[in-house]
Amino acid sequence: MTRFIVRRLLLTIPVLFGVIFVVFAAARILPGDPCRAQLGERATDAVCADFNRRNGYDLPIPVQFTTYLGKLAEGDLGASTKTSLPVTQLLVQRLPLTLELTVYALAFALLVGIPLGIISAYKRNSPIDVVTMMVANLGVSIPIFVLGLLLAFVFGLLLRGTPFALPPSGRLTSGVSIRPLVEVWGLQALAGPPRVLLDFTSNIYSLNALITGQWNVLADAFRHMILPAVALGTIPLAIIARITRSSLLDVLGQDYIRTARAKGLPDIKVVTRHGVPNAMLPVVTVIGLQLGGLLAGAVLTETIFNLAGVGLAVYDAITGRDFAVIQGFTVVIAVVYLLVNLAVDVSYARLDPRIRLS
Amino acid sequence: MSANVTQPTAELLGDQPAAPRTTGLWRDTVANILRQRNAVVGLAIITLLVLAAIFADVIAPIPPNKVLLGTEAGVRKLSPPCVHLLGCPTDRPQHLLGTDTNVRDEWSRVVHGARVSLQVGFVTVGFAIVIGMLIGAVAGYAGGVMDNGLMRLMDVVLAFPSLILAILIVSALGHSLINAQVAIGIVAIPVYARVMRASVLSIKEQDYVTAARALGASPGSILLRRIVPNSLTPLIVQGTLGIGGAVLEVAALSFIGIGAQPPIAEWGSMVGLERGQLFNAPWLIFGPGIALSLTVFGFNLLGDGLRDALDPRLNR
């Protein structure tokens, strides 16, 4: 097991360097002058000469890459071209919301997708199965931005005034506010990394409200997360339902299932005890792969529901041609994605001992 | 050959097939595809879209980019759908899906959008397949350092969430529909390269390849004339499965404003630009939105059906 993890870790390192290099290359080597690309119409020859010298773009490419790597290692992602604020600071402000949204979306996908897949497989070719799979097919075909706008339209406008109405934008209803952890605990004097960590946790509204017992805020924050989470979670839900179904169908055809049936186990126990646990392996892989889609989908979801997370920051950076922010966030998202996949691989080895052997 | 042998036996047994038994890979394949309900529905949707794209000027005669202000009596921006046959007053100009913020006919824009999206799907995936095929073929055939280098490069591309890498590439190249297609194409390359490499690895050990080598054929000609034609099937299946995704991702880039630029009638950018009108003029969102979902749905169904039809392991 340890050997497997170590080998898998070592294999990740070259890919990690590759990822960083690709992001670096997108800024420096691709056709187009970084100055003109980033400053747009503000760029004149004099401005550009100064800009290039200030950012070290006049140095040889290998030197620039080493400098870039060094800065990354120190956690320096550069500064926004527009606001001059460090990208890291923006990240700490924006990441909690995206994290919260992703967790809700994934929970929705798992809690609905897995049972749907199990029922579909168990009732194979029944009307339930056909309808579920048709809906799953539709689910992967509707673009997030269309589904999101549709949800906002239905729950924000058509159902307005009914108990089913849900807020189509923002994180909290105006008038409701959440108290940060430092304030609740009277730690305003705190500084440095512990303070950053506390502020970060404070910004995950559901978690903060849960810890400090601000129940009305918790309910409000949750209501605001429903529509975005459903919009973002639908594609993974459809994929998870399909994978669960096909994987469980595979398992239910195995000899040990026949044995379990032969010894007189009730059908429900055959499926829940022997079927489902053995069918979960491919589902775990797919969850890992879907996280990348969730991070990318956050850009669209946050734009539609007006949530100030990483996704909206990337969107604003795109419209404002703030390349430093796009670059910084891309590196972070790619590294997170890489680590998640590493974790999935490792958990895979825990779930299935055969993998460690090969 | 075997089909010819089995046919008389079937007749002896009194088993009368409704149609003459198909022979050959392609006819078998077509018959297999037509047996799948999903694939038939997918094929029907795509056929409809292709017809809409070809006859766009007939179905929607108003040019998609024409600003109607001053050319028609009573026309205004954001007017709701109006069909005279369905009881809309005849003194108002007829627009199936109303007009958009710039007083253009929305129905026209949605119909003409089929041209853009079909082009986007085929060209983007075609680009990814050609490059992926080259990389996969060279890696699989050459082996060694070349193989390792190319495949690790593919790993790096796969290490990004695809839309995020595409955003990075388009931001660096500049915002346009072509660049968005290039970006989505690049992001898709590794899938095709891996599929191609896998087929090349299995085909290059076949007897007929050894025979060609023994006859003195050059590596280039073996690769082009023996290996590539024989490894196309999995690529085609993968490609069909990828078209829906490519259309979706290019539309997403256009939605956030870095793909198709105005005034191109592209569904993603149409939704993106009229997003603010959701509560006033929802038809401007749902017209292109439904068209886009239907297109992706059609390609996904067709791709699934094609995979089931061409995968020998699933042959029943």
ipTM: 0.86
User: How many angstroms away from the CA of A77 is the closest CA of chain B?
Assistant: 15
| pLDDT tens digits, one per residue of A333-349 | 888 888 888 888 777 77
> Are B112 and B58 spatial neighbours (Cβ–Cβ below 8 Å)?
no
Tell me: cis bond preceding B263? Omega within 30 of 0 counts: yes
User: Average pLDDT of chain A?
Assistant: 85
* CATH number, domain with residue A258: 1.10.3720.10
Query: Mutate which of B154, B156, B157, B280 to disrupt the A interface (most A C-beta within 10 Å)?
Result: B156
pLDDT reported for residue B21: 54
pLDDT reported for residue B130: 94
| Contacts of A296 by beta carbon, 8 Å cutoff, 6+ apart | A333, B161, B162, B163, B164
User: How many angstroms away from the CA of A73 is the closest CA of chain B?
Assistant: 19
In chain B, residues with a C-beta closer than 8 Å to the C-beta of A27 are 172
**A268: pLDDT strictly greater than 90:** no
In chain B, residues with a C-beta closer than 8 Å to the C-beta of A135 are none
| Contacts of A321 by beta carbon, 8 Å cutoff, 6+ apart | A37, A38, A39, A40, A81, B171
* A337 to B161: CB separation less than 8 angstroms, yes or no: yes
| CB of A137 less than 8 A from some CB of B | yes
Residue A169 lies in a domain: yes
In chain B, residues with a C-beta closer than 8 Å to the C-beta of A323 are 171-172
| pLDDT tens digits, one per residue of A46-57 | 888 887 787 777
Question: Which B residues 57-116 touch A at CB under 8 Å?
Answer: none
Averaged over A220-247, what is the pLDDT?
A: 93
Q: Which of B157, B171, B301 is opposite residue A323, by nearest beta carbon?
A: B171
**A239: pLDDT strictly greater than 60:** yes
One-letter identity of residue B291: A
In CATH, B55-75+91-310 is 1.10.3720.10? yes
| pLDDT tens digits, one per residue of A80-110 | 877 788 888 888 889 899 999 999 999 999 9
Averaged over A220-241, what is the pLDDT?
A: 94
Domain count, chain A: 1
* B162 to A292: CB separation less than 8 angstroms, yes or no: yes
Greatest Cα pair distance in chain A: 84
pLDDT-derived band of residue A327, with 50, 70 and 90 as boundaries? confident
pLDDT reported for residue B3: 42
Q: Which residues pair with A203 in a beta bridge?
A: none
Q: Is the dihedral of CA B38, B40, B43, B48 positive or negative?
A: negative
| CB of A128 less than 8 A from some CB of B | no
In this structure, how many other beta carbons lie within 10 angstroms of the beta carbon of residue A345? 19
Averaged over A200-216, what is the pLDDT?
A: 89
pLDDT-derived band of residue A357, with 50, 70 and 90 as boundaries? low
- Name the closest residue on chain A to residue B242, using Cα atoms: A141
DSSP at A173 = -
Cα–Cα distance measured from residue A290 to residue B161, given in angstroms and rounded to the nearest whole number: 9
> Are A150 and B305 spatial neighbours (Cβ–Cβ below 8 Å)?
no
Residue A270 lies in a domain: yes
| pLDDT tens digits, one per residue of B130-178 | 999 999 999 998 888 999 889 989 988 988 888 888 988 888 888 899 9
Residue B107: closest CA among B52, B157, B160: B52
- Name the closest residue on chain B to residue A302, using Cα atoms: B256
Cα–Cα distance measured from residue A340 to residue A314, given in angstroms and rounded to the nearest whole number: 21
DSSP B101-140: TTS-BHHHHHHHHHHHHHHHHHHHHHHHHHHHHHHHHHHH
Distance of CA B308 to the CA centre of its chain: 18
Q: Where are the domains of chain B?
A: 55-75+91-310
CB pairs under 8 A between A and B: 147
Residue A8 lies in a domain: no
Averaged over A216-243, what is the pLDDT?
A: 93
| pLDDT tens digits, one per residue of A64-79 | 888 888 888 888 888 8
pLDDT reported for residue B80: 86
Tokens standing for residue B125: 């995936």
| CB of A118 less than 8 A from some CB of B | no
Residue A137 lies in a domain: yes
Residue A19 lies in a domain: no
10-residue stretch averages of pLDDT, chain B, 316 residues long: 44 48 68 82 94 93 86 82 83 86 91 94 95 93 89 88 88 88 95 92 88 90 86 86 92 93 93 92 94 94 82 52
> Are B131 and B185 spatial neighbours (Cβ–Cβ below 8 Å)?
yes
pLDDT reported for residue A28: 67
Phi, psi of B166, deg, nearest 5:
-60, -40
DSSP at A117 = H
Q: Which of B156, B161, B290 is opposite residue A333, by nearest beta carbon?
A: B161
* A334 to B296: CB separation less than 8 angstroms, yes or no: no
**A30: pLDDT strictly greater than 60:** no
For the whole model, what pTM was predicted?
0.86
pLDDT reported for residue A235: 92
Tell me which residue range forms the domain holding A267: 89-178+214-309
| pLDDT tens digits, one per residue of A183-194 | 888 888 888 788
pLDDT reported for residue A40: 66
pLDDT reported for residue B12: 46
> Are A281 and A247 spatial neighbours (Cβ–Cβ below 8 Å)?
yes
* A145 to B297: CB separation less than 8 angstroms, yes or no: no
